[in-house]
Amino acid sequence: MKLRVGIPKGSLQDSTIALFRRAGLSVYTSSRSYFAGTDDPEIECMLIRAQEMARYVDHGALDCGLTGKDWVVESGLELVTAAELIYAKQSLGKVRWVLAVPEDSPFQKAEDLAEKIIATELVNVTKNYFAARNVPVKVEFSWGATEIKPPTLADAIVEITETGSSLRANRLRIIETVMESSTQLIANKTAWADGQKRRKIENLALMLCGAIYAQGRVGLMLNVRKADLAGVLAVLPALQKPTISTLSDNEWVAVNTIIEETTAWRIMPQLKAAKAEGIVEYPLNKVVL
């Protein structure tokens, strides 16, 4: 059994391959090939543009693949969503497709753009967005460099953004969010109905989700006397509940939990003040919930 997995080529490629590596599966790419090997002999990868991923998964050329929810919706195809993976090119958050206009334009809302030209790569979603508001517009496909088109080549754009910095740099102003999007692991219905392939896809989803959840978090171990345990637990935020184990000295227990890495600076001195000892912070690769 071979599972054919699509890796998004382009802006998400490096972050996706890094995610696979953190999940425990190394992906070996070559600048001369669209095919990639992995450490798992049952998984082979192919680099495909995110915009085309849904089509190739639907056709069965790929069993599953990673692409944005935006491109799945844009394709209009019915695919299985095996997992939502909240990561992007620069961050772990979702991205937004926004309606943006020149800073000095009079437009304040979608309705102000009636009979105007909108440039975007996300044509179908944009058409549906304006149609739902009964606003007649002309939506033109943009082959790239969309930010530079207003006001000469278009009156407004619908463009993807994480931080908004590129839009601001091109003197554009966001007036509405058209949709939010995150990366998804999608599968075709035939592969999902195959018991072996489905288990492999579900395992892949489990490990990728575990790697994402671990990012920005660290493990924390400490020892504390039972008499002081309540004070330590009052300081600790926990994933669910911290693990508490009895030590060889029955007066002491070990506490193990997971915290946000950014909170360690504040929490560790508080734990020491609450009489915790032997406090150890350690990195995490995966957290499987």
pLDDT at 88: 58
198 pLDDT higher than 80: yes
Give the DSSP H/E element, type plus range, for residue 266.
helix 264-273
Q: Look at residues 118, 90, 122, 92 and name the one whose alpha carbon lies nearest to residue 175.
A: 118
220, with CB counted inside 10 A (0-12, 13-18, 19+), is: buried
Task: Give 112's contacts (C-beta < 8 A, 6+ positions apart).
Answer: 106
The pLDDT > 70 percentage for the chain reads: 97
Tokens representing residue 98 in the block: 């926004």
Mean pLDDT in the chain? 92
Angle at CA of residue 237, ends 232 and 243, nearest 5°:
70
What average pLDDT score do residues 171-182 get? 95
Residues 56 and 147: their CA atoms lie apart, in Å, by: 29
pLDDT at 238: 61
Task: Give 165's contacts (C-beta < 8 A, 6+ positions apart).
Answer: none
Give the DSSP H/E element, type plus range, for residue 249.
none
Tokens representing residue 280 in the block: 């150890």
Residues 173 and 176: their CA atoms lie apart, in Å, by: 9
Model confidence pLDDT, tens digit, residues 95-153: 899 999 999 999 999 999 999 999 999 999 999 999 999 999 999 999 989 999 999 99
pLDDT at 277: 95
Tokens representing residue 185 in the block: 């692991």
Say if CB 103 and CB 170 are below 8 A apart.
no
pLDDT bracket for residue 84 (50, 70, 90): very high
Distance of CA 150 to the CA centre of its chain: 29
pLDDT bracket for residue 239 (50, 70, 90): low
244 pLDDT higher than 60: yes
226 pLDDT higher than 90: yes
The pLDDT > 90 percentage for the chain reads: 82
pLDDT at 240: 60
Model confidence pLDDT, tens digit, residues 7-46: 999 878 888 999 999 999 999 988 778 889 899 999 999 9
236 vs 126, more confident: 126
